[in-house]
Structure 1
Amino acid sequence: MTGEYKPADIAKFVSEIEPYLDPSSLEVAWELLSEDGETTDPAGLAEILFSDTSAPLCYAAYCLLSEDKLYFKQKGDRYEPRSKAQIVEIQHQQQVAAVKQEEWQQYLQRIEQALAGKSVEWQESDRPRLEAIERFATFAEEA
């Protein structure tokens, strides 16, 4: 897994691994490893996913594992598969966060419409935010 690499080689190296950076492939590895309760490292994951442990593919596996917040958790220099219950909970948390982010973006769009003098149909979810703005505008620093 070691080699003679120079800084000038980095761009080529990164472009070489790009096709392998599919986070959905981690689900397959998770299924295989969680059945046996095994941990893995980047080289082990490269072997599972790509049937190859060359430096670029080990690095691709490392990138997948280091970016993953769903299927594996790092324990020292190994990666442990999460339980199914943990994955379901994390997916739920991600979904809730995505809904909140979408509501926030829509709220900001309505604010921009109002500032532009356009008609706005406010949502019930806007009420606490609008009340906070009103309190701040009315009482300034006391709010």
Structure 2
Amino acid sequence: MKNASIREQVERCIEEFRRGELTEEGLQGVLDSIDRRRERRGRKRRQDLLYLHTRSTSIDYPVLGMRILENGVLWDGPRDPDEWPYKTVVEAVNDGWRIIKFPEMALLLDESRSFGLGCEFILERTREA
């Protein structure tokens, strides 16, 4: 019953009760499952953010600039672009980052002129603190 949902576990207990087979251990197992789930939910999580700038809205275009918030510290990454941890948005996604904001298309009205920093992707990952 460990991997079953709480609902499934309670339904099994009801079936066992109807058959006269419900035990204290069976009920205790459901309570233990509830406690384990609450404990997992209560763990502190930390959010890291990764800002990647490209020339295109395509996730496989080369990164032109980056900024990262990791472990509560904001930094621009290594000075040398060859040392950046990700050369494309795809590489970051493959490393566990999740895209939470795609570039604003309204800001790309005219490809012949530069607006701001180009296309900005914002990615996040969460992990236990």
Give the TM-score, by structure 2 length: 0.25
Task: Say which structure is richer in strand.
Answer: 2
Which protein, 1 or 2, shows the higher relative CO under an 8 Å CA cutoff with sep ≥ 6? 2
Identify, as 1 or 2, the structure richer in helix: 1
